[in-house]
Amino acid sequence: MRTWNQTFRTCVSAAEVPDEYAICRDRNLVLQTSVVTKYKTAAEICNGVLTSVKEECKIGAKVMDLCYIGDDMIEDSCAKIFKGKSIEKGIAFPTCVSINHCVGHYSPLADEATLSDGDVVKIDLGVHIDGFIAVQATTVIISASMDQPVSGRAADLLACAHYCFEAAMRLIRPGNHVRDVSGPLQTIAESFGCTLVEGVMTHNMKQFVIDGNKCVLNRPASDQRVDDAEFEENEVYAVDIVVSTGDGKARVVDEKQTTVFKRALNVEYSLKLKSSRTILSDIDKRYPCMPFPLRKLLATSTSSKFGLVECLQHGLLHAYPVLWEKDGELVAHIKSTVLLMRNGSDRITVSPLQSFNTSKTIEVCSCHLDFKICLFLAECSVRNKPLHHWQLLILCLTLICHSLCDGTFQ
C-alpha cells in the first residue's frame, strides 16, 4: 500500500533507477513473451504464498509467525526457479499482517499478538522476478467457521472493498483517464457507510520500480492531487483499495513500529559509523531497490538495527511506517496486479474473497453510464454468475433509454 506522503516525498521513480536496472523500463516491453512470463511467474508465487498465509489465519495464530511464513515461502519459491541464471528475484514487498484498525505495514520483529474471533486481517505481500513485480493484498475475517458468510459491519466493509476494487479494475483500462476513477469509488464507499482511506493510491509499476509516477488518488483532497493522465496499453498497475468504517485518516502512532524500509537509490552519503556502513552494504547487496523486512536483514547481518538510525537520518532509506485508524474502527484492503493488454486487462494476482451477506445497495442513478456497467459486472463477479453478451446488450440498451429520458446520458 502506497500513501500520498510516501509517493510524493519518498518514491523511487523510473528516472532514479540506476543504469544497471534500466534495461527494461519501456512499457512496450510488456508485449514480449519473456516479460509476461516473468510477471506471471511472480504472480503465481504471490498467489500461492498468500493462499498459504490465509490458511494459517486461524484463531490463536501469531501475527509474527504469519509474516515469517510468507517471507520464507517467497524466498524458497523463488530459489527454485530460473536456476543458474543471473537475475534478481525474491521479495518485492514483505509480508505484512495488519489487524482491525491497523491500516497497513505491520510486520513485527517480535510480537505476541494473536488472531481472535471476528478480527479483520489484512495480508499484503509482493514478489518479483528479474524486477518484474506482482503484488497482492486481501482481507480475511477470522471465524471458527471460515466457510460461513460474513455478516454485520464487517460484511459491509468487505463488500465495499470488493465493489470498489472491481469498479476500479474496470475503469483502469486503455483510453480512460485517471480522473475517471475516484468519483465512482466515492459513490460506492458512501453507499456502504464506509470511507476510502486518505492518501492511498493505485500506481503503475515498471521493472525494478514498485511505485511509478502515474497514480490514481482514490480519495482526492484539497491538499492532495495528482496529474491527470491516460491509461495506455502495455502498462502494469497495482490496483490498490483500502476502505474504513471510520474517517479514513491513517495515522502514525509510533515510529518505532516501523520494520519495512527501502533503499533510496538517488541518495549517497559517506556514513560515519561502521555499523551503519555494514548494514547499508548488506541492503545494497540483498535489497538494492525493493522494500525489505528488517527481520530478514537482521537475521543474517552482522550489524545491529542501530546502524539504521544514521541511514535514516541522511535519507539513505525510505520508511514504511505502520498506519492506524481510530481505535474501534475496521479497515479492509484489496490489491491486485493488473496488466493492461491489447486484448483486455489481465488480473494476474487473485485471491478468492470470503462470501458476505449485506443488505446495503449502491446508488447509481446519477452516475456515468460506464460506471453502471462496471457495477453490474462487479455484481456478477461477486455472485459468480456467468455474464452473457445478450445480458450486457440488454443492460446497455436499457440504461441508454433511461438516460435519454432523464437527461443524464453522457
Domain coverage including residue 375: 364-410
User: Minimal CA–CA distance to 37: which of 72, 2, 85, 1?
Assistant: 85
Looking at the fold, whether 224 and 272 belong to one and the same domain comes out as no
Do 159 and 204 sit in the same domain of this protein?
yes
CATH number of 283's domain = 1.10.10.10
Residue 341, pLDDT score = 86
Query: Rounded CA gap, 164 and 153, in Å?
Result: 17
- DSSP characters for 235-292? -EEEEEEEEESS----EES-GGG--EEEE-TT------SHHHHHHHHHHHHH-SSS-E
- In a 3-state reduction of DSSP, which class is residue 367? coil
d(CA 230, CA 179): 9
Q: Are residues 247 and 314 in the same domain?
A: no
Domain count, the chain: 3
pLDDT value for 147? 84
Q: Side chain identity at 242, as an amino acid letter?
A: V
Q: 198 and 73 share a domain?
A: yes
Among the candidates 299, 319, 339, a domain finishes at 319
Q: What is the CA radius of gyration of the chain?
A: 21
Rounded CA gap, 199 and 216, in Å? 10
Do 353 and 376 lie in one domain? The reply is no
> What ranges make up the beta strands (E) of 108-250?
120-129, 132-141, 195-196, 201-205, 215-217, 236-244
List the pLDDT tens digit at each of the 410 positions of the chain.
Answer: 666 555 433 344 444 544 444 434 454 455 578 899 999 999 999 999 999 999 999 999 999 999 999 999 999 999 999 887 889 999 999 999 999 999 999 999 887 889 999 999 999 999 999 999 999 999 999 998 888 899 999 999 999 999 999 999 989 999 999 998 999 999 999 999 999 999 999 999 999 999 998 999 999 887 778 889 999 999 999 999 999 999 999 999 999 999 999 999 889 999 999 989 999 999 999 999 999 999 888 876 656 678 899 999 999 999 999 999 999 999 999 999 999 988 778 999 999 889 999 888 776 655 555 665 566 656 655 655 555 666 667 666 766 666 566 555 45
Residue partners of 379: CB distance under 8 A and separation at least 6:
385
